[in-house]
Amino acid sequence: MNRRSGIRGSADGRRARGSSGRRACWLALACCLALGGTTATLLAQPPGEPASEYPPGRPLGAPATFARPDRATLVLPAETEVLAEPSPLARALLRLDVEVEVEVLEERDGWMRVRIGELKGWVATGAVAGFGSGAAVGLSGERLDLQAARLERARALMSGASMRRTAALVWWTDLHPNLDLSARLAELFACFSATYERRYGLDRIAYPDRDVVAVFTRQEDYRRFVDGETGVADLVSGGFSAIGFAAFYAGDRPGDDVAAIAAHELTHLENRRRLALELPPWLEEGLAEDMGLLAAAGRGCPDSGWPRISRREWRTGGGRERTLNVLETTSGKLRSLSCTVAGWRSSPVDLRELADMSWGSFSAPAGRASRYAAAALLVRFLLDGDPDGERRAEFRAFLGAGRDRGSFAWEELLGRLGADDDELAEALRAWAAAELVAYECV
Residue range 334-358, pLDDT digits in tens: 557 878 888 888 887 899 999 999 9
CA 149, CA 83: separation in Å to the nearest integer? 31
Q: Domains of the chain, with CATH numbers?
A: 7-127 (no CATH), 133-276 (3.40.30.160), 309-435 (no CATH)
CA 165, CA 362: separation in Å to the nearest integer? 34
Residue 121 has pLDDT above 60, yes or no: yes
Q: Which residue has the higher pLDDT, 200 or 22?
A: 200
Residue 414 has pLDDT above 60, yes or no: yes
**Residue 13: band (very low, low, confident or very high) from pLDDT cuts 50, 70, 90:** very low
In this structure, of 51-60, 81-90, 295-304, the range with the lowest mean pLDDT score is 51-60
Q: What b/e string do you get for 306-326 counting C-beta neighbours within 10 Å, with b at 16 or more? A: bbeeeeeeeeeeeeeeeeebb
Average pLDDT over residues 390-412: 93
pLDDT tens by residue, 188-198: 999 999 999 99
Quote the DSSP letter at residue 199. H
Q: pLDDT > 90: what percent of the chain?
A: 32
62 torsion bin: left (phi>0), alpha (psi -120 to 50), beta (else)? beta
pLDDT on residue 12:
37
Beta-bridge mates of residue 315: 321
In sequence order, what DSSP letters do the residues of 361-415 get, joined into one string? Answer: HHT-STTHHHHHHHHHHHHHHHHHS-TTSHHHHHHHHHHHHHHHHT---HHHHHH
pLDDT on residue 406:
84
Q: Residue 5: CB partners within 8 Å, gap ≥ 6?
A: 28, 29, 32, 37
Q: Where are the alpha helices (DSSP H) in 106-252?
A: 141-157, 180-200, 219-227
Separation of first and last alpha carbons in the chain = 59
Average pLDDT over residues 195-202: 93
Residue 41 has pLDDT above 80, yes or no: no
Q: What are phi and psi of 362, to 5 degrees?
A: -65, -40
Contact indicator for 273, 169 with CB cutoff of 8 Å: no
CA 148, CA 151: separation in Å to the nearest integer? 5
pLDDT on residue 189:
93
Q: Residue 154, Cβ neighbours under 10 Å: how many? A: 26
**Residue 95: band (very low, low, confident or very high) from pLDDT cuts 50, 70, 90:** confident
Closest to 117 (Cα-Cα) out of 135, 96, 132, 88: 96
CA 184 to chain centre: 9
> Residue 3 burial (CB < 10 Å; 0-12/13-18/19+)?
exposed
Largest CA distance in the chain: 88
> Residue 192 burial (CB < 10 Å; 0-12/13-18/19+)?
buried
- Mean pLDDT score of the chain: 75
pLDDT on residue 242:
84
Q: What is the torsional sign of CA 347, 335, 328, 326?
A: negative
Residue 31 has pLDDT above 60, yes or no: no
Average pLDDT over residues 118-131: 68
Q: What is the pTM of this model?
A: 0.66
Residue 63 has pLDDT above 80, yes or no: no
In this structure, of 143-147, 226-230, 389-393, 404-408, the range with the lowest mean pLDDT score is 143-147
Beta-bridge mates of residue 151: none
CA 335, CA 339: separation in Å to the nearest integer? 8
**Residue 232: band (very low, low, confident or very high) from pLDDT cuts 50, 70, 90:** low
Average pLDDT over residues 293-300: 88
Average pLDDT over residues 312-328: 53
pLDDT on residue 363:
85
Q: Residue 202: CB partners within 8 Å, gap ≥ 6?
A: 196, 274, 275, 396, 399, 400, 403
